[in-house]
Structure 1
Amino acid sequence: MDTIQLLFLAIIQGLTEFLPISSSAHLILPSAIFGWPDQGLAFDVSVHVGSLAAVMLYFRKDVVQLLTAWFGSLAGKHSAESRLAWLIILATIPAVLAGLMFSDLVSTVLRGPWVIALTTIVFGLLLWYADRNPPQVQDEKSLTFKQALFVGVAQAIAIIPGTSRSGITITAGLMLGLTRTAAARLSFLMSIPTILGAGTLMTTKLVKSGEAVIWNELALGAVVSFVAAYLCIHFFMKIIARMGMTPFVIYRLLLGAVLVYLFVL
C-alpha cells in the first residue's frame, strides 16, 4: 500500500470500530472509488491490535478492576465487578460461536455491497428506534444474565457486514433500558474479548497463509489506528449522553443510500 491508502484505512478502521456506523461499509467505499487493492490480512491484524490497545488503555481502570474481581470470584469473593465480568464473558460466547460457524458464509456470500447497504440502513433505523424509546435509566451492572445473553446474541449478528458491532450492541443495551453512556460502556468493554478473539484468529490465518509481512507498514497502521480509536472513544463517551444517536442514524442512512446508488442500482 502507498502511504495515503495506509493512513486513510487505518484512521477509518480506528474510528469505525467504535462508532455505531459500520466499519465494513466504510472499507468497501475507498476500494471501489479509488481502485485500491485489498489491504491484506497482515494489515487487518495490525489495525485491530491498535484498536484493542486503545480501548484497553482508555478503560484500563475498569479492565484491572474486572480482571481482579473475576479472579477473586473464582476464590468465592463476589462483587458487582465480578458479576459484570461474568456478564461480559457470557455475552462474548454467541459472537465466538457465530464466528466459528458462519465465517466462511460471511466471507463468501454476505460481503456483497447490497448486503452492506441493506444492513447499514436497517440497523441504523433500529438504532434510532431504540434511542427514541425510554426509559433508559439503568447502568451496565444492573443487567441480568438473560439480558447479557441478549446483548451477546446482538453482537453475534454483527458478523454480517454493515451491521456494526458497536451499533447493534448499543442498540440492544438501549432496548434493555440502559442509559446511553452505560450502553456505550458495555459495548466497549465487550469489544475487548471480541477484538482479542478476532485478532487471534486473523493472526493464526496470517501465519498459516505465509503472507509477506512489511513490518514498518504494520507498525504505522497499528499506531494510527490506536490514535484514531482512542480519540474516538474519548469524545464519544464525552458527548453521547446529550447528543444521542440521531446524528449517527442520519449518517448511516445517507451512507446506505450512497452504497445503494453506487453498487445496487
Structure 2
Amino acid sequence: MTDWQAALLGVVQGVTEFLPISSTAHLRIVPALAGWGDPGAAFTAVSQWGTFLAAVAYFRRDLAAILFGASTTVAGEGQAGRRLLLPIVLGTLPIVAGGVLFKRQIESDLRSLYVVGSSMILFGLLLLWAEMRRRGERGIESVTLADGLAVGIGQALALIPGASRSGTTITAALAVGLERATAARFSFLLSLPAVFLAGAKELFDEWHAISAAGMGRPLVVATVAAFLAGLASIDWLIRYLRRRPTHAFVAYRIVVGAAILALALAGRIR
C-alpha cells in the first residue's frame, strides 16, 4: 500500500467513522472500486486510533468532566460530570462481549459485500424509524444507566460490517429520547473505550504481520489522516444535527447499500 492510498483510506475512515454511514462499508468499497483489495479488519481497527484521538481532542472538556469532575463541557450545555462514567462503562460491555465471542466472523464471514450492502439498508431504515418516532429532547445531563445500556447494545450491533457505530448508537439514543446533537455527542463519548481497546488489541495481535508486510508507515499515514478528517467530521455533524434531521444520511445509506449489492451481484466488485 502506498502512502497516498493510505492517506485516502485514512480520510475515508475519519469522515465516515463519525457520520452515520459506516466507515467499514466505505473502507470495503473504496479499495474494491479502485482495485486495491480489502485492507482488512486489522487495518481498520488500528487506523481507528486516528479517529479515537480526534474524539479525545474534540471532547477533551467532556472527558475532563467525566474523569475528574471538571465543570466545563465542550458544547457549553451544562456539566456532564462524573455521572456519565457509569453509563459509558455499562454501555461498553455489550460490544466487548460481542467482539470476543464473534471475532472470527467479524474478521472474515461478515465482511462479505452482501452483508455490508444489506446492513447499510437495514440499519438506515432503523435510523429512519428512530427519527420518525422521536419524541424526546433530553440533554446530556439526563443520560441514565438504562440509556447507557440501550446505546451500548446499539454499539454492539455495529460489529456487523455496514451497520455503522455512529449510526446504530445515534439510532438507539434517539429511540430513548435524547435530542439529536446530544445523541451524537453521547455516541462518540461511548465509542472511546471500545475503539481504544479494539485498536490496542489488533495492534498487539497483528504487530509482527504488519511489520513483515511493511504496513507500519502506511498505518501511520492513515492514522494521521483519520485524525485530521475526524476532527472536521465531528464538528460538522454536531452542528448539522442541531439544525436538521438524519434523513439525508438514511437516503445515502439506502442508495449506497443498493449500489453495493448491485455491483456485487454483477461481479463488478468483490
Shorter-chain TM-score above 0.5: yes
Report the number of matched residues: 257
Identity of aligned residues (%): 38
The residue that corresponds to 1:142 in the other structure is 142
Q: 1:138-173 CA deviation, whole Å, 9 max, x = no partner? A: 123323322321111111111010000000000000
Q: 1:91 matched to which residue of 2?
A: 91
CA distance in 2, matches of 1:55, 1:26: 20
Q: 1:53 to 1:65 in 2, by over 3 A?
A: same
Structure-2 residue corresponding to 1:233: 234
Cα distance, 1:40 vs structure 2: 5.7
Q: CA deviation at 1:211?
A: 3.6
Contact 1:113/1:264 (CA < 8 Å) preserved in 2? Answer: no
Mean CA deviation greater in 182-191 or 22-31: 22-31
> Partners in 2 of 1:45 and 1:114 — Cα distance?
21
Structure-2 change in CA distance of 1:37 and 1:259 (3 Å): closer
The 3 A distance-change label for structure 1 pair 167 and 40 is closer
Match for residue 32 of structure 1?
32
Shift of 1:80: 5.9
Q: Note the aligned Cα RMSD (angstroms).
A: 2.0
Q: Indicate the residue corresponding to 1:174 in structure 2.
A: 174
Paired position in structure 1 for 2:16:
16
Counterpart CA distance in 1 for 2:147 and 2:39 is 37
Is the Cα–Cα contact under 8 Å of residues 47 and 226 in structure 1 kept in the other structure?
no
Check conservation: 1:24, 1:162, Cα contact below 8 A. Answer: yes
CA distance in 1, matches of 2:106, 2:200: 18
Counterparts of residues 103-114 of structure 1 (less than 5 Å): 103-114=103-114
Normalising by structure 1, report the TM-score.
0.90
The gaps in structure 1 that reach 5 residues or longer are 71-78
Residue 250 of structure 1 aligns with an amino acid whose one-letter code is: A
CA deviation map 1:164-185 (0-9, x unaligned):
0000000000001100011001
1:24-103 superposed matches below 5 A: 24-39=24-39, 43-44=43-44, 46-69=46-69, 81-103=81-103
Aligned to 1:2: 2
1:157-236, aligned counterparts within 5 Å?
Answer: 157-207=157-207, 209=209, 211-212=211-212, 213-236=214-237
User: Greater CA deviation, 79-88 or 186-195?
Assistant: 79-88
Letter in 2 for 1:244: P
Distance 2:23 2:235 in 1: 18
Which residue is 1:129 aligned to? 129
SS at match of 2:81: helix
Q: Any stretches of 5+ residues in structure 2 without a counterpart?
A: 71-78
| Separation in 2, partners of 1:226, 1:218 | 12
Quote how far apart the aligned CAs of 1:244 are: 1.4
